[in-house]
Amino acid sequence: MSGFVALIGRDLRLAWRSGSDALTLVLFFVMVGVIVPFAVGPDPVLLKTLAPGIVWIAAFLAMLLGLDRLFRDDFDDGTLMAMQHAEAPLALLIAAKVIAHWLLSALPLLIASPVLAMLLAMDVSTFLRTVLSLLLGTPALTALGTIGGAVTVSLRRGGLIAPVLILPLAVPVLIFGVSAIAPAMSVNSATTALLLLGALSLFLLVLAPFAAALALTVSED
Amino acid sequence: MSVETAPPSTGNWFSRLAHPGQFMVWSGKFVWPLAILTTIVFGFGLWFSLFASPEDYQMGDTVRIMYVHVPNAWLSQAVYGLMAVSALGTLVWRHPMADVSMKAAAPLGAVFTALALYTGSLWGRPTWGTFWEWDGRMTSTLVMLLIYLGIIALWRAFDDQLRAARIVAVFTLVGAINVPIVKFSVDWWGGLHQPSSVLRSGGVSIAPAMLTALLTMVVAFTLLFITLQLVRMRSEVRNRRIAGLKARAARSVR
């Protein structure tokens, strides 16, 4: 268990010391939100309807972009192999990496979401529900990303193929995430969507470490 | 050394099945009979569906699209099932033919899924007035097609096909767990946006002649899949053997 906490700390320290990956991700997230008004026109009513979808797509793309660094560095310098022969089970170590990755790639987006809310003319209650839905939904995206990253880690061209694999599987996350904030929804169905989103996140968080551990083990020998 | 080699037939039937050489021996006897059987059943199926079945009282002749649409839709699911079972075979027993079966099935499944979508939209145009509707069933079939294409892309990304097989197997199983979730969520989503939608489930009580035609076509398409699957598996075994021979030849050159 100490290894579990130590690994989270290590990943966070590495990210902190090696520079501004998280900032770049946030910048990308905000930029996607910024270019949409240019593409569809700056009509506030239209933007207000589109806002939940735009925020989710921006978060989705930003998380896909950060997916490659989840295992890549550890694979290149051999840390991953050391983890496979560690005393702690590989699935547990991967669970630690999932948590660290969520803190590094999803939490910054949550913190930056007020900027997008302002640009896209969201009102306060919609914004709060957006933050809540991102909070509940991003763990599912991180979990799916972990599977994608583990499956493609031994490929040099893995950076492109992992998003292609993950995208169709992430459709439910998008559907429930947007249903939870779409303005047309009644409070009741929005709550249902939020609950389903949370259930999906929990399910995928349990599944992902084992699936990723299996993928890493079989790709080694 | 030739490409075809028959190994000694020792061991139980399961390990004999597992041996690629033995597979080539027994599957070779099946290809032509299966192809002929498929043609015959297709002949019957087409006759039933084009001549011996009535028109629908509302849809007229367009109902005949159903006889190609439903078999393709059924195969789009069934082929994924076969891939998931093969993936288990790869991961649990390291069955060499399971790898081959998984790889052979992916493009076939993708084609059947694409055909199901295509025939569906051809049918949708005259009956519903639109080629595409973001309806639950259509959307989940589209996602299914994307998953197939992702799996094919993953196969192609690896040089070492043995390693690729095990990794693709893990992803196929993850996809198999996820497909019901996708389907359920998409149905829910479609239900929210368009209540009492265009898809009338069980709205048409089916006439016996139509049922005969439909079932014959389902059998015909399934036989077609089995035949193509066998042929593709045989070519894959040969491809791997050729790759092995080339590697050996390259090593022996000084």
Q: What is the DSSP letter of B63?
A: G
Q: Kindly report, residue by residue over A15-37, the tens digit of the pLDDT.
A: 888 777 778 888 999 999 888 88
Query: Which residues of A fall below an 8 Å CB-CB distance to B?
Result: 147, 151-152, 154-155, 157-158, 161, 164-165, 167-169, 171-172, 175-176, 179, 189, 196, 200, 207, 211, 214-215, 218-219
Q: Which of B146, B153, B186 sits opposite A161 (nearest CB)?
A: B153
Burial class (CB in 10 A: 0-12, 13-18, 19+), A118: exposed
Q: How many Cβ contacts (< 8 angstroms) between chains A and B? A: 77
Report how far residue B50's alpha carbon sits from residue B53's, in angstroms, rounded to the nearest whole number: 7
Q: Which of B91, B167, B189 sits opposite A175 (nearest CB)?
A: B189
More confident position, A44 or B7: A44
Rounded to a whole number of angstroms, the distance from the CA of B142 to the nearest CA of chain A is 9
Provide the 10 A C-beta neighbour count for residue B60.
Answer: 11
- Residue appearing with tokens 């032509």: B32
CB contact under 8 A, B150 and A218: no
Burial class (CB in 10 A: 0-12, 13-18, 19+), A207: middle
Helix residue ranges per DSSP H, A120-186 = 124-152, 158-169, 171-181
Report how far residue B52's alpha carbon sits from residue A86's, in angstroms, rounded to the nearest whole number: 68
| Residue of chain B nearest A156, judged by CA positions | B157
Q: Kindly report, residue by residue over A154-210, the tens digit of the pLDDT.
A: 887 767 888 889 999 998 898 888 888 876 666 677 888 889 899 999 999 999 999
Chain A neighbors of B170, CB-CB under 8 A: 151, 211, 214-215, 218
Domain ranges, ordered by start, for chain A: 2-220
- Which helix (H) or strand (E) segment is B85 a member of? helix B66-88
Q: What is the ipTM of this complex?
A: 0.87
Report how far residue A214's alpha carbon sits from residue A191's, in angstroms, rounded to the nearest whole number: 35
Q: Which of B150, B181, B192 sits opposite A179 (nearest CB)?
A: B192
Q: Please tell me whether the overall predicted TM-score, pTM, comes out greater than 0.95 for this model.
A: no
Q: What's the whole-number mean pLDDT along residues B176-194?
A: 71
Q: Per-residue confidence at B252, pLDDT binned at 50, 70, 90?
A: confident
Q: Kindly report, residue by residue over A54-103, the tens digit of the pLDDT.
A: 899 999 988 888 887 788 888 888 888 888 888 888 899 999 999 999 99
Q: With a cut of 80, say whether residue B59 has pLDDT above it.
A: no
Mutation choice for B interface testing from A169, A196, A200, A210 by most B CBs within 10 A: A169
Q: Does domain B20-197+205-240 have CATH number 3.90.1720?
A: no
Q: Collapsing DSSP states into helix, strand and coil, what is residue B156?
A: helix
CB contact under 8 A, A164 and B167: no
Phi, psi of A206, deg, nearest 5 = -75, -40
Q: What is the DSSP letter of B134?
A: -
Burial class (CB in 10 A: 0-12, 13-18, 19+), A82: exposed
Q: Which of B143, B167, B182 sits opposite A151 (nearest CB)?
A: B167
HSE of B11 in the Cβ direction (CA atoms, 13 Å)? 11
Task: Please check whether residue A15 is in contact with residue A104, taking contact to mean a CB–CB distance below 8 angstroms.
Answer: yes
| Residue of chain B nearest A199, judged by CA positions | B181
pLDDT of residue B231: 94
Q: Per-residue confidence at B168, pLDDT binned at 50, 70, 90?
A: very high
Domain ranges, ordered by start, for chain B: 20-197+205-240
User: A89: left (phi > 0), else alpha (psi -120 to 50), else beta?
Assistant: beta
Q: Kindly report, residue by residue over B76-113, the tens digit of the pLDDT.
A: 989 999 999 999 988 888 888 898 999 999 999 999 99
Q: With a cut of 70, say whether residue A221 has pLDDT above it.
A: no
Per-residue CA distances from A146 to A28, A66, A84, A136, A180 (Å): 20, 11, 16, 17, 24
Chain B neighbors of A157, CB-CB under 8 A: 157
CB contact under 8 A, A169 and B175: yes
Q: With a cut of 70, say whether residue A118 has pLDDT above it.
A: yes
pLDDT of residue B169: 93
